[in-house]
Structure 1
């Protein structure tokens, strides 16, 4: 029976991934209905904390976008890239990583990738190198960002272990950066130079293509929106506050001594305000402050493209994680008996499981929330799970995630592409190198630091 249930889960994930957008969420709910009424499984608790954090953080990022702060940051990034064009293969991925680390969502990379492609093309540097690693860098930054849904999911899983946000960041940031640099070195001279690439040379025979290649308007001198700088400052303070409270939980309010105290969703039984709730409060408060002081409005925030991304991500996590956790909770003993001995003998095998599931879910947060509790139950140390956290970045394996597809579209030379056999695409080898090195670095760092 368990294999039939697993088949339902995998079919729903596969169909949902092909739908894209909210597809994973709605197919997850169909799968959950089958689990409940077809197999009589008891539904687990929905992933409310992760969903609400996604909504809170991405709403704050949408406010930053609506106030012009995003354009301001892109302008600065563009100036850095255009002033160092020969280093685009290094700077492109690093700036994309920094953007996503700051904002907590990979969708922010859409703003910077056209500039990376443009600078590469104008300097006749193969765009595939910088573009492929910028996409991988965006994924890596999600597991290192203090305000990402993936970090929040990891935080909720580790809540009872004594490890917090600072422990996650202390390992994840250097590990993912080490992996990113390894990936950059791997692509440094990958592929033919544009001047030698037969497909590019063939395209250059078309006068319209050649003219269009140089025809991008430089927006470096565009005027900043009135509230752009203010919105960046407010958002930066919010991110800094999350890091401080996550690193020093003793600063969080304690209500345990009050006679009328009752534990709940936001407050633990000991009376401490829980960090996931603190993230929600800080980021939505930052949204309000941006609206009040950064010359934007609530209406503009809801019309920002990032706001719709928040809705899609929330629904996707809602359905697929609820379905997956219901399957795992109801079959926990069988799964534990099957995987326990393997994981005990080969702990690294759990990193492979994380990677494979992330390939299917297209979500670091969903993968962490679905599998990391199983890792704890199988006896893996919490610090070890932090070390292999970068393994949840398997989005690139099956080329269907929006950031990957957009990178292909932005590269007008055609060097960044999906190959004839689908899996032989521009992101496969850079992604594997980066992920493997990041996981190895994470394991080494957790053994020293935690």
Structure 2
């Protein structure tokens, strides 16, 4: 029976992934309905905490975007990237990493990818090198950001066992090490443009050459009045969350036996509630002080992306959690001996599921509780956290497709066999090295 139920899970995920957008969410609900009415499985708890965190963080990021803060950050990044064009393969991924680390979502990097492509092309550095590792870097940053939905998910699962500061002390340096390894892997990948036969053939077309040499039209309009202030408010909010994670005694404590969605069994306020509270309060301050409007926030592209993410996680995680809950003993029996002998093998399971779910948060919420049930130590689970970044394996994730579209030279591509695409080598290298570094760092800090 478990294999039929697993087939339902796999079918819902595959169909949902093809639908894109909210597809995973709505098909997840179809799968859940099959479990409930056909197999009579008891539904697991829906991922309310993760959904609320996504809503809070994305709303605040969208508020900063509506106030002009995102444009201000993009202009700063553009100056950095253009200051050392010969180092674009290194500066590109470090910039997208820092953007995502700060904002908690990889969707913020869409504005940076065309700049990275432009700088690479003008310097005649193969754009594939910088674009591929820059996209991977933005994904890895999600598992290091203190305000990402994925970090909130693992923090909730490991509540009372590992604090936010512990996760950051392991995952930030581990993912940076992984990214640097990915940079080395693509530093000389393919031919430089001035030696690439395909590119040189394209340059024989006067129209193509003229369009390529034209400078991109950069925004010359003045920034909105509250742009810099909105970035400052957002930054203070992120810093406050990190401080609370490092010093939880800053928060009031209540008596035991008062557990709810905001307070744990020991009477302490949950970190997920802190993130939601601080982020939405920051959003209110941006609206008031930067004179933006709630209508502009609702129309911001980040808000739309966040709404899609909430629906997707709602359906697919609820379905996956129900499957896991119903078959926990069978799965534990199948994986128990292997994981006990080599805990790192659980990272492979995390990576494989993330390929299907296209979401770090969904993968974390669906599979990390199984890791605890199998007896894997919290420190090892934190070390394996970067392995939920398998969403690059199948080239259907929006950031991958955007990078391909922005590369006018055609060097960033999807291969003939689908998986032999530009992002495969840097992705495998960066994720693998991040997990290895995570184990070393977890042994030191956790």
Q: Alpha carbon RMSD of aligned pairs, Å?
A: 1.1
**1:347 and 1:380 in contact (8 A); partners too:** yes
Q: Residue 250 of structure 1: CA displacement? A: 1.0
Residue of structure 2 equivalent to 1:202:
201
Moved more, 137-146 or 243-252: 243-252
Residue of structure 2 equivalent to 1:179:
178
Q: Residue 252 of structure 1: CA displacement? A: 1.5
Q: Residue 216 of structure 1: CA displacement? A: 3.1
Unaligned stretches of 5+ residues in structure 1 = none
1:376-412 Cα deviation digits (max 9, x unpaired) = 0000000000001110000110000000000000000
Q: Residue 263 of structure 1: CA displacement? A: 2.9
SS for the counterpart of 1:46 is: coil
Residue of structure 1 equivalent to 2:255:
256
Provide the C-alpha distance between the structure 1 equivalents of 2:221 and 2:81, rounded to a whole number of angstroms: 16
Q: How does 1:303-314 map to 2 (within 5 A)?
A: 303-314=299-310
Provide the C-alpha distance between the structure 1 equivalents of 2:246 and 2:26, rounded to a whole number of angstroms: 36
Are residues 1:351 and 2:350 paired? Answer: no
Residue of structure 1 equivalent to 2:119:
119
Q: Residue 417 of structure 1: CA displacement? A: 0.3
Aligned residues: 446
Q: Residue 124 of structure 1: CA displacement? A: 0.7
1:125-150 Cα deviation digits (max 9, x unpaired) = 10000000000000100000001000
Provide the C-alpha distance between the structure 2 equivalents of 1:335 and 1:263, rounded to a whole number of angstroms: 30
Residue of structure 2 equivalent to 1:213:
212
Provide the C-alpha distance between the structure 1 equivalents of 2:56 and 2:202, rounded to a whole number of angstroms: 45
Q: How does 1:19-34 map to 2 (within 5 A)?
A: 19-34=19-34
Match of residue 434, structure 1, among 422, 426, 430:
430
Residue of structure 2 equivalent to 1:425:
421
Provide the C-alpha distance between the structure 2 equivalents of 1:217 and 1:390, rounded to a whole number of angstroms: 35
Residue of structure 2 equivalent to 1:130:
130
Q: Residue 221 of structure 1: CA displacement? A: 5.0
**1:143 and 1:172 in contact (8 A); partners too:** yes
Q: How does 1:212-361 map to 2 (within 5 A)?
A: 212-219=211-218, 221-256=220-255, 262-361=258-357
TM-score, reference length from structure 2: 0.98
SS for the counterpart of 1:39 is: coil
Q: Residue 248 of structure 1: CA displacement? A: 1.3
Residue of structure 1 equivalent to 2:168:
169
TM-score, reference length from structure 1: 0.98
Q: Residue 220 of structure 1: CA displacement? A: 6.6
Unaligned stretches of 5+ residues in structure 2 = none
Provide the C-alpha distance between the structure 2 equivalents of 1:53 and 1:7, rounded to a whole number of angstroms: 30
Provide the C-alpha distance between the structure 2 equivalents of 1:340 and 1:252, rounded to a whole number of angstroms: 38
**1:78 and 1:220 in contact (8 A); partners too:** no
Provide the C-alpha distance between the structure 2 equivalents of 1:20 and 1:267, rounded to a whole number of angstroms: 35
Distance verdict in 2 for CA 1:218–1:84, change over 3 Å:
farther
